[in-house]
Structure 1
Amino acid sequence: MPIDLESACRLAQDITNVPVTPLGSAVRQAAFCAKNQFHPIQRYLLPQQLKQTLDGLAAGEILSLTDPFRVRYLFFRLGSAPVEIGPFCTELFSHQDCETALQRAGIRDITAQDLQVMRGTFPVYAESHMLHMARSLARSLGLGGTLTSVRRVEQDTGGPQQTPPEEMPRQLYAEMIRKRYQVEIEFMDCIRRGDSRAAIHAWQQLHQSVAYTKRLGQTIETARASAAVNRTTIRLAAAEAGIPALVNDLLSGESSAIVRNAKTIDEIDAEHERIIRVYCQAIRQRRDQHYSSLVLSAVYQMERHYAEHITVQELAGELEVSPDYLAARFRKETGQTPLAYLTAVRMRAAARRLAESDAPVSEIAAGVGILDANYFIKLFKKAYGQTPLAWRKDHRL
C-alpha cells in the first residue's frame, strides 16, 4: 500500500527522533520558524528567509545548512513538496566549545550554559545518516534516485573563521607541529617530575594546539580516543618515573572506565585533569617516601580497593610474593603492617564520609569495607579519639 508524505515523515521521525517536517504552506513555515529559532542570529529561521531558501532549492538537491551554533538542517523537495530534517547536531559541544562559538559570533546576550542546554536537546547523528534518511524518504514515496546532489552552506556570522590545515602555508603548519612536539616533551617531563600544575598547563596547551585540525565540537568517540592517547603518554612517563606496572595498570584502568562511562565532552576533559593529578601524586609519593615497587603497588591496591575485602594473602598473590615476605617488606618501609595501613586508609575515608553526609554509621562502615558496625566504632574511636557520631558533630561540613 503506497504511503503518503505526511505518514512517511512521521515514520522517519519516530525511528530517529529527529524532526521531519513537510513545509508546503506558509502557515507551516511560520510555525517551524517560531518553534526552532533560538537566537536572532539564526536569520535563516525567519519566515521570509526560509521561503527564499525553499524557493531556491534546485531539482534533486539536498541543502545541508549549518548555523553559527553548529545546529544542522536538511532542506529538499519530494516532488513539489518542500521538506526539512532537523534540527540535529553532528558534534558534541563542551562548555569551552560553546564559549568559543559565542565569541566568534559576537553574541553576548546568552551564556555558554544556555547554548549547551539548547544543543543538548537535539539528537546527534552523522550528516551521512540524515542524508540517507532523506533519500530513503524519497524511495518510500516512489521518488528513488531523485536526490542526487548535496549543497552545504554555513551561515556566516562575520566573525573569524578557523583555517583548516590544508589551507595553511606549509611553513606555518610545520612550525605548529614543531611547537606541539616541544609541548609533548614538556608534558611528559612534568609527569615524570610529579608536577601536576605544570602538567595540566602543558596538557591544556596540547588540547588547544589541535584546534586547527577540526572545527568546533567533536563526537564522544573522538573525545574517548583522545583520552586514550593521553593515558598512553602519561603511562609511558610514569613508567620512566618508576611507577610499577601494577599501579600503572590500576590507575590507567580506572581512568579508562571513567571515560568509557562519560556522557559529555566536559566529563572527559575533567578526567584528563584528574588522571594527571593522580599520576603526579603517585610519582611524588614514590619519590618522597622511597617505597619499593612492591610496597607502592600494595599501597595503591589498598587505597583504591579499601571498600572491598582485602587480605595480606590476596595482596601477596596479586603481587606474586609470599605473604610473609610482603608483610616484612611493607613494615620495613612504612613502619606499619599491611593491615594497620589498610585500617588507617579506611578510617580516613570514613571520616570524610561522616563529615560530608548524614548516612548511618552502619552504612559508612560497610562503605569502607567493615561490615561489623560495632567493630568499626571501636576502630574509629581508637584512630580519632571520638565516636563516629561525635566526630560528625564536630567536623560537619
Structure 2
Amino acid sequence: MCESFYTSKKLIENIFGLKINLLSNADDYEFFCKNHMLHPIQNLFNSKNLILFSNSLDENSVFHIKDQLQINFIIFKIKSDLIIIGPFCSHIFSRSDCIQLLKRLNLSINLHTSLLSYRDKFPILSVNEALNIVKSFINVIFNKIYEYKNLDFSITKNENIKSEENTLKKDYSQFIREHYSIEKSFMQSIETGDTENAILYLRHQQREFQSFKRLGTTLENERIAAAIVRTIVRIAAMNAGLPSLSIDLLSRDNTIASRNAKNIDEIYTAKEKMVADFCKEINNHKNKKYNNLISSIIYYIEHEFDENITVSQLAKEFHITPNYLTNLFHKQTGLSPTEYLRQVRTKHACQLLVTTNMSIQKISEKVGIVDSNYFVKLFKKDFNLTPSQYRKVNKL
C-alpha cells in the first residue's frame, strides 16, 4: 500500500476512532477474528468464514455488514487484500437492550455485562457517517468508483421479531393508558415534593418505553427524551407554585448536564438529579413561605454563590432597586442579602474543609471569595474558629 494509505488511515483512526484493518494473509485474518469475536454466533468473525467471504467478493463492491450482535463494519477488496473498516456501533445499548438481544438470540443473559463491555470498545457512528468516511477515504487513496451494498445478519430480520412486533401492537393501547396514568402520578409526586416516588415513577416510565422501542438508542434521542421529561417536571413545578426563575435555573442545569453527557447513564443520572432538585426546592418553597421574588433570589444565591454576587447585581438581575431588595429580603428572612450570601459561602466552606484536603486559599476561591484573608475573617465571625481550627476539630 502507498504511503498516503497509511497517512489517511492514521488520520481517520485518530479523529473518529474508526479502525482500518488491512488483511493480507491467513495470520492477519486469524489475528483480526481473535481480537474482535465475542461469541461464536458471530460466524463472519471465524477466520475460515472470513477468508471464504473475502474470496467471493469482487473488487467493485463495498459491503456494509451488521452482524448478529448488531456490530457494524465495512468491507472491500483491493486486489488480493481485504480492508475492513470498523467495527463500530450505530446505536448505544443499555443493559436492558443487551439482555433483550441475548434473549432473542437464545443466548445466556449472563453475557450482558460482557456484551456491554464489548460494545464499549467500538466508536459510535451512524451508518451514513461511516459510509461517508469510507467514500472519502476510497476517493482520496484509490480514486475508484464502488457499488455500495448491505448485508444484515442481525436478528431483526427473523420472523420471530415480526411475530413479537405484532404482539407489541396489540399491547400498545394498553401501554398508552398505563403511560398516562404513570405520568399523572409522576407529576403529582413532584408537585408534593415526594422525591422517592417521583424517581420511582420516572424509572418505571423508562422501563416501559424499553419494551416499545427498537434495540439501542443514540445520545441525541436520549437528550430529546430528557427534554420531554424536563418539560413535564417544569409544568408540575409551576403547578406547585415554584417561582419561574427557580424553574428556569433548575432546568438550565439539566440542559447543560444532558448536553455534556458522554453516555446514556449520565443522562439518566442527570434526569434523576433534576427531579430530586425540583422536589427539594418545592419543599423549601412550601416550608419557608417566602414570596416568589425572595424565593427566586434565595435560589439564585444558593446556586451562584461562587460567583461575584453583589446587591446591585442581584437588583439588576431581578429588575428591582437595591434598597427595595435589601428591605424586602431582610423583612422575610431576618438577614440582609450580603449576610445570607456569607452564610451560604461559609456553610459550603465547612463541607470542603471536612471532606477534602484543599488548601484554605483554594476553598476560599471555590466559595467565591478571592481574598483568603478576608475569607478567614468571615469564617471566624460565623464559627468562632479559623478554617484551619475548624478542619482540625471536624475532619472526617
Give the TM-score normalised by structure 2: 0.85
1:150-169 paired onto structure 2 within 5 Å: 150-154=150-154, 167-168=166-167
Instruction: Note the C-alpha offset of 1:85.
Output: 1.9
2:67 is equivalent to residue 66 of structure 1: yes
Instruction: Note the C-alpha offset of 1:292.
Output: 0.8
Counterpart Cα distance in 1 of 2:363 and 2:62: 63
Counterpart Cα distance in 1 of 2:342 and 2:385: 16
Counterpart Cα distance in 2 of 1:6 and 1:126: 28
Is the Cα contact below 8 Å between 2:306 and 2:367 reproduced in 1?
yes
1:1-397 paired onto structure 2 within 5 Å: 8=5, 11-12=8-9, 14-15=11-12, 16-40=16-40, 42-55=42-55, 60=61, 62-68=63-69, 70-77=70-77, 82-94=82-94, 97=97, 106-107=107-108, 112=113, 115-135=115-135, 141=142, 143-144=144-145, 146-154=146-154, 167-168=166-167, 170-397=169-396
When the two structures are aligned, how many residues end up with a matched partner?
Answer: 388
Is the Cα contact below 8 Å between 1:164 and 1:213 reproduced in 2?
no
Counterpart Cα distance in 1 of 2:334 and 2:361: 30
Distance 1:100-1:329 versus aligned 2 partners, 3 A rule: farther
Percent identity of paired positions between Structure 1 and Structure 2: 31
Deviations 1:175-227 (A, max 9, x none): 21222122222211111111111111111122122224433332222222222
> Which stretch shifts more, 59-68 or 133-142?
133-142
Letter of the 2:28 counterpart: R
Other structure's SS at 2:307 match: coil
Letter of the 1:387 counterpart: T
Instruction: Note the C-alpha offset of 1:36.
Output: 1.9
Instruction: Note the C-alpha offset of 1:281.
Output: 0.6
Letter of the 2:269 counterpart: A
Other structure's SS at 2:217 match: coil
Other structure's SS at 2:83 match: strand
Counterpart Cα distance in 1 of 2:287 and 2:328: 17
Letter of the 1:242 counterpart: G
Distance 1:27-1:257 versus aligned 2 partners, 3 A rule: same
Letter of the 1:151 counterpart: L
Counterpart Cα distance in 2 of 1:212 and 1:242: 35
Distance 1:163-1:236 versus aligned 2 partners, 3 A rule: farther
Could you tell me which runs of 5 or more consecutive residues in structure 1 were left unpaired when the two chains were aligned: none
Instruction: Note the C-alpha offset of 1:284.
Output: 0.6
Could you tell me which runs of 5 or more consecutive residues in structure 2 were left unpaired when the two chains were aligned: none
* RMSD over aligned Cα atoms: 3.1
Instruction: Note the C-alpha offset of 1:56.
Output: 5.5
Deviations 1:44-92 (A, max 9, x none): 3221232344456588462512342x43223344566543221111123
Distance 1:81-1:372 versus aligned 2 partners, 3 A rule: closer
Instruction: Note the C-alpha offset of 1:376.
Output: 2.2
Letter of the 1:362 counterpart: Q
Counterpart Cα distance in 2 of 1:48 and 1:216: 30
> Which stretch shifts more, 74-83 or 331-340?
74-83
Is the Cα contact below 8 Å between 2:230 and 2:251 reproduced in 1?
yes
Distance 1:357-1:133 versus aligned 2 partners, 3 A rule: closer
Distance 1:32-1:12 versus aligned 2 partners, 3 A rule: same
> Which stretch shifts more, 26-35 or 371-380?
371-380
Instruction: Note the C-alpha offset of 1:40.
Output: 4.9
Deviations 1:296-346 (A, max 9, x none): 001011101111222222212211222222222222222222222211111
Instruction: Note the C-alpha offset of 1:27.
Output: 2.5
